[in-house]
A and B are shown apart, each in its own frame.
Chain A
């Protein structure tokens, strides 16, 4: 319990830091974001829009700490301002409309990569020196050297443009209306394959290596020797005895992996023109939509922190040793 509370404290401090960063960035940056936005919108701004932005970017004459208190209050009441590029839609609504696709893409890729990677890790550890164990690490280093977005471009070119196996962009065909029918789900599924596979391809290796090393460490434990002495079948020992315990570090890796998925999904979404908050973030940057930009950054940060916190709780439940310490 104390551990959970301490971690909660840490995540709150981290969240506070990102809110503060968000608050300070527009106020202390060289140049003036508001005037850049005025120029961008070419006089199309409404009076209420200007008032809203003055509030957000501190153009009013109130002292800094007062603005800060207002800002923090508005963040915690879920008021992230109004999007400039999609005026007058509130930022929260824009994010709400997009976040589903990011979660779909991210979690699909994360689950596949984690399952596949852990399974491969178990196999590699059980046949040390085998083909999987010796050929994979160098290959991993080589594949890991390529910039992720470039691999994604290559996959898009090869499987999308040249071979034409998969659609080139968007989450579903333009003619379809989203709904829970077979046609739409199948269509969204085919659009999901290529983006998700590229994420799996670059992340599966680290899952596998982590699991392999963890398995090798666990295999040296006395209770494994005991299980062997009892004459249990190798597969039973491998999965019921060794893998269960070796999986523990992987649970913490999910938190780390999530950070990568949310961050990496930005590049994936850009390359595959997949709708999602990463794609939206870049669009907001290009259109100088600062409120939307900041809102998305806060949302991503909050999601990562929350996920890490939940995983901490799960971990404490899974591993009694943590509770004692």
Chain B
């Protein structure tokens, strides 16, 4: 049920985000990204997965968790990726799983980056006491063991996709906030920021109109990092049975594969596809990230060529 509700927003929230940032903020970065082989293959891979997620109802019509064959059948003509222990089609589960996983991953990535951006910019702009306080909070969140915290929070909150997103944002923003604060601090000291302050621009305006555009590439890399964190952590959380097990996602697919004993009966086709999909999406994002790094940091590029 919830799978159907949430999928409507996949296209609006998830898909355009990375592209829009690049194009509007930095024409140069977008063009360079498209000419980089790493970035291009990463983006293509992402596009394929986005398309598969969008077209899941067309490619595999009907409820994906419907039981429509005998259990634990290997890949065959009727079921290209075989069937689960219960007798569901693995291909349909994997296709539909892409929707929840990509949606949650990108939502977590965007919201966590937003929180990190706000904290990082505020700490860098206001400095002094504000900086000390925000840095303290950031460091505490960095030090608290992430996975146990995730588990505790998920255990106390009512299960559901919204909880998963909330919990992942709470545990995922701190690392990015540290990076963004450091970058924003170096820009904070520049003359044009002082000039903007003199002309009477409001703090929020300076933070988001003056400082932010100058650190677009760092924001982009932290965003991609947060999306990867979101996708893999959602899978981990759901694998532990702490998500909403009635939603079809790559994480819940792996949870059912494990709790139905697919591993012990040797039914590799049940747990391989979902894991591979997570890895491919994460790899694609890492490729784009790597390319952004290379474009914006020439030292990395030359070091790479020298090898």
Interface on A for B, CB 8 Å cutoff? 10-11, 13-14, 17-18, 25-26, 29-31, 33, 128-129, 133-134, 141-142, 144-150, 153-154, 156-157, 161-162, 168, 259, 262-264, 266-267, 270-271, 278, 281-282, 285-286, 290, 293-294, 296-297, 300-301, 304-305, 308
Contacts and interface: CB of A to CB of B under 8 A. Distances in A.
Contact of A142 (B149, B152, B254, B283): B283
A141 B224 CA distance: 14
Interface in B261-307: 263-264, 266, 268, 271, 275, 278-280, 282-283, 286-287, 290, 306-307
B143 interface: yes
A183 B282 CA distance: 43
B236 A293 contact: no
Contacts of B154: 285
A270 B258 CA distance: 10
A301 B286 CA distance: 30
B158 interface: yes
B145 A301 contact: yes
Interface residues of B, number: 44
Interface string B59-71: 0000000000000
B4 interface: no
B155 interface: yes
A161 B263 contact: yes
Given A146-B279, A282-B240, A301-B145, A153 B258 contact: yes
B286 A147 contact: no
B74 interface: no
Contact of A267 (B139, B149, B236, B264): B236
A36 B263 CA distance: 32
B287 to A, nearest CB: 8
B151 A282 contact: yes
A14 B155 CA distance: 22
15 contacts: A10-B136, A13-B136, A17-B140, A17-B144, A29-B156, A129-B306, A141-B283, A142-B279, A146-B275, A153-B258, A262-B145, A266-B148, A281-B151, A282-B151, A294-B152
Contact of A150 (B143, B148, B264, B278): B278
A142 B143 CA distance: 26
A134 B144 CA distance: 35
Contacts of A14: 139-140, 143-144
B241 interface: yes
A26 B147 CA distance: 19
Given A10-B139, A270-B240, A293-B152, A145 B145 contact: no
Interface of B: 136, 139-140, 143-149, 151-158, 228, 232, 235-236, 239-242, 254, 258, 263-264, 266, 268, 271, 275, 278-280, 282-283, 286-287, 290, 306-307
Contacts of A294: 152
A308 B240 CA distance: 28
Nearest to A30: B158
Contacts of B266: 157, 161-162
B263 A153 contact: yes
B101 to A, nearest CB: 11
Among A14, A134, A296, the one with the most B-chain Cβ atoms within 10 Å of its Cβ is: A14
Contacts of A301: 144-145, 148
A163 to B, nearest CB: 12
B263 A156 contact: yes
Given A25-B152, A30-B158, A141-B283, A150 B147 contact: no
Nearest to B239: A149
Contacts of B144: 14, 17-18, 301, 304
Nearest to A286: B241
Contacts of A300: 145, 148
Given A286-B241, A301-B148, 17 more contacts: A17-B144, A25-B156, A30-B158, A31-B158, A129-B307, A146-B279, A147-B236, A147-B278, A149-B254, A153-B271, A154-B275, A157-B268, A161-B266, A267-B147, A282-B240, A297-B148, A308-B143
A281 B152 CA distance: 9
Given A282-B151, A296-B148, A161 B306 contact: no
Contact of A263 (B147, B241, B242, B286): B147
